[in-house]
Homo-oligomer: A and B are copies of this chain.
Amino acid sequence: MGGDHGPHECVPGALRALRSDPELRLLLVGDAARIDPLLATLTQAERARIEIVPASEVVEMHEHPRDAIRRKKSSSMRVCVDLVKAGRAAGCVSAGNTGALTAIAHFVLKTIPGVERAAIMSAIPSANGHTHMLDLGANTGATAVQLGQFAVMGSIVVRDVYGVAAPRVGLLNIGEEDIKGHEIVQEAHALLAALPVRYVGFVEGDDIFSGELDVVVTDGFTGNVALKTMEGVAGLIAGRLRREFGASAASRLAGLVARPVLRRVGADLDPRRYNGACMVGVAGVVVKSHGSADALAFSRAVTLAALAARRGLTGHIAQALAAQGS
């Protein structure tokens, strides 16, 4: 139980997911003394679907991934991933340190045979639904071969978890023409065209939101910057709207009248609705929740993990990569 809020938001979030999914069973990993009181409101039947697995430590948000692996063998994050490895959990969710989760997931679960590096993938709102983007920061870069693997894995996630039969895949670049970009995207462009994915070619940053793509593939550096940039722009616009609607009595009145519409737009684009990033490519279901996730947001991440596990995501990725390798 890490993240910015610890069990305080994660436990209510997990319970929300539990209530909305009668088949879901939870292993809550962390400090039992802090978790147990948060379960007081449950019915007996609900409580019976929960087990507390004690963990005596927490990986801190700014801890070095290497230290998290070496020194925190009884951290909640490590115990949680160990449960997946042991087959006791079908998947795990963490709101903790992304670097540490990536490192621990790689160290404990290993990557699926044929996968060089796992990637973090999440839904991004678009003009008519979502686009799914990877890598959002599991790695600090990517080779052309790795970008190709991200394309294959991303397509499977969108098909399995989101039900899109033939996901359209774009490769993020700084222009749509074939000649654009650096050597790695040039090489990946040729590679993706030959892969069993529905590759539509190079796309630019604004195309992420066009509604004409299902999967956007990029390296973890570019993807993470793009993701944080989105959050920043959305925050800037929301801040300006608040400021201007509060600027005078007339504006405040206009704000009251417009509030239901503004709320609908806000709810529709609320990043909490899209919380939960899959770490695709490790041999097990691992979902990263935003560190600052509240209960609602955390519940989405838990539901995502349950869905990925049920649909057999890891097995499907393994099959696809094996077919590609052979």
Contacts and interface: CB of A to CB of B under 8 A. Distances in A.
Nearest to A174: B224
A140 B260 contact: no
Given A62-B177, A209-B232, A220-B174, A237 B225 contact: no
A64 interface: yes
Given A229-B230, A236-B126, A241 B265 contact: yes
B206 A235 contact: yes
A134 to B, nearest CB: 14
B206 A229 contact: yes
A260 B254 contact: yes
Given A141-B182, A207-B232, A233-B234, 17 more contacts: A99-B180, A127-B236, A137-B174, A172-B225, A174-B224, A181-B221, A204-B224, A205-B232, A206-B228, A208-B229, A209-B235, A222-B222, A222-B225, A241-B265, A254-B258, A255-B258, A258-B258
- Chain copies in the assembled complex: 2
Give 7 nearest A-B pairs by CB, closest first: A205-B228, A206-B232, A205-B229, A258-B258, A140-B182, A174-B224, A209-B232
Interface in A263-318: 264-265, 268-269
A240 interface: yes
9 contacts: A140-B180, A172-B225, A205-B228, A205-B230, A233-B233, A236-B269, A245-B258, A245-B261, A257-B257
A231 B226 CA distance: 11
B239 A127 contact: yes
Contact of A230 (B64, B126, B222, B233): B233
A241 B241 CA distance: 12
Contact of A264 (B182, B244, B257): B244
Interface residues of A, number: 61
Contacts of A268: 240, 244
Contact of A221 (B125, B174, B224): B174
| Candidate in A99, A172, A179, A233 with the most chain B CB atoms within 10 angstroms | A233
Contacts of A231: 205-206
A204 B245 CA distance: 29
Contacts of A222: 221-222, 225
B236 A209 contact: yes
A161 B297 CA distance: 44
A232 B208 contact: yes
A196 interface: no
A70 B205 CA distance: 30
